[in-house]
Amino acid sequence: MESEAILNLSHLVNEDFANSVELIFQSKGRVIITGIGKSAIIATKIVATLNSTGTPAIFMHAADAIHGDLGLILEDDVVICISKSGNTPEIKVLVPLIKNANNKMIAITGNKDSFLGQQADFVLNAFVEKEACPNNLAPTTSTTAQLVIGDALAVCLLELRGFSSKDFAKYHPGGALGKKLYLRVHDLTSVNEKPMVTPNTSIKEVIVEITEKMLGVTAVVEDRKIVGIITDGDLRRMLTKVDDFSKLTAKDIMSNNPKRIDVNAMAVDAMEVLETYGISQLLAEDNGNYAGVVHLHDLIKEGII
């Protein structure tokens, strides 16, 4: 029932929707979103979505508005009122006060002929045939429709603003989504040990280095340049081929030309290399010099994977 209601919304989108988007886009103020009951809860979500995608927004509860919170509304602000019926007592008191202050008002309502629908500058029709509640009482289908309209507004606005992935990262620095957009290889290698041997290092010392640094790998470095890599797997394969490794050195078992990445690259780029080649560790370089190791576990820990 809810999915059918959402599908029907596409037929209700008209010039008022386009005008509402343009109004908010051109506004020098914020978007104040208000409602009561379940509509108020939907309003808080729409506010959060707008704020996170570059459109400043504030929630104002309709009941609190008529008891002092009207002071939130500034001269250039656009007000969005959400109400299924458009005729609740709080809305009937609030709407004239908003109109008297000459703020532009957008209605999201299921009844365009309601008091709210008649008073608003633009009406976004959120009509639903019936609630999903068996008694057709609890706001279910109607609040879903309101939510979808709010998302549609936010997406149109972020496209108009040219809101990019870099902008998204700026507003979401703490989450896994944001980390994918700002976390760099250096942020991972800087907290890891830096396993390193030379081509002439004995196998015993190689084993000690890999064991102590606990990354399952060591870079083989000469004059600060990466010349090879030795992994736990390389050591195991060596043991299947030779009985006496006392005279072997790192250069005898290392893999040449290992996969590497620049420390300034994005962590997601490192993840792509690891996945593409089916490896667990990746060597990092800084201006061509060995800089450390990125491990698959680092990416998992940071929520990149």
- Rounded CA gap, 171 and 127, in Å? 33
Residue range 220-239: average pLDDT?
Answer: 93
Cβ neighbours of residue 155 closer than 8 Å, sequence gap 6 or more: 53
- Beta strand 225-231 pairing with 57-61: unpaired
In this prediction, residue 299 carries a pLDDT of 87
Q: 15-26 and 141-160 helices cross at what angle (nearest 10)? A: 50
Contact, 282 vs 292, CB < 8 A?
no
DSSP label of 69: G
In this prediction, residue 137 carries a pLDDT of 87
Number of H helices, E strands in the chain: 15, 12
Residue range 70-91: average pLDDT?
Answer: 95
Cβ neighbours of residue 263 closer than 8 Å, sequence gap 6 or more: 184, 185, 186, 189, 284, 285, 286, 291, 292
Q: Band of the pLDDT at 242, cuts 50, 70, 90?
A: confident
Backbone dihedral region of 111: left (phi > 0), alpha (psi from -120 to 50 degrees) or beta?
A: beta
- Rounded CA gap, 76 and 89, in Å? 26
- Rounded CA gap, 234 and 153, in Å? 56
Main-chain dihedrals φ then ψ at residue 104, nearest 5 degrees = -70, 140
DSSP bridge pairs for 256:
228
Residue range 75-80: average pLDDT?
Answer: 96
Q: What is the pTM of this model?
A: 0.66
- pLDDT tens-digit profile of 174-211? 665 666 667 899 999 988 899 999 999 999 999 999 99
- pLDDT tens-digit profile of 140-152? 999 999 999 999 9
Q: Band of the pLDDT at 172, cuts 50, 70, 90?
A: low
- pLDDT tens-digit profile of 269-281? 999 999 999 999 9
- pLDDT tens-digit profile of 223-232? 999 999 999 9
Residue range 235-244: average pLDDT?
Answer: 89
Instruction: Work out the angle at residue 20's Cα, subtended by the Cα atoms of residues 137 and 101, and round it to the nearest 5 degrees.
Output: 90
Could you give all domains of the chain from N- to C-terminal order, each with its CATH number? 2-163 (3.40.50.10490), 182-301 (3.10.580.10)
Q: Band of the pLDDT at 173, cuts 50, 70, 90?
A: low
Cβ neighbours of residue 243 closer than 8 Å, sequence gap 6 or more: none
Residue range 105-132: average pLDDT?
Answer: 96
DSSP bridge pairs for 59:
33
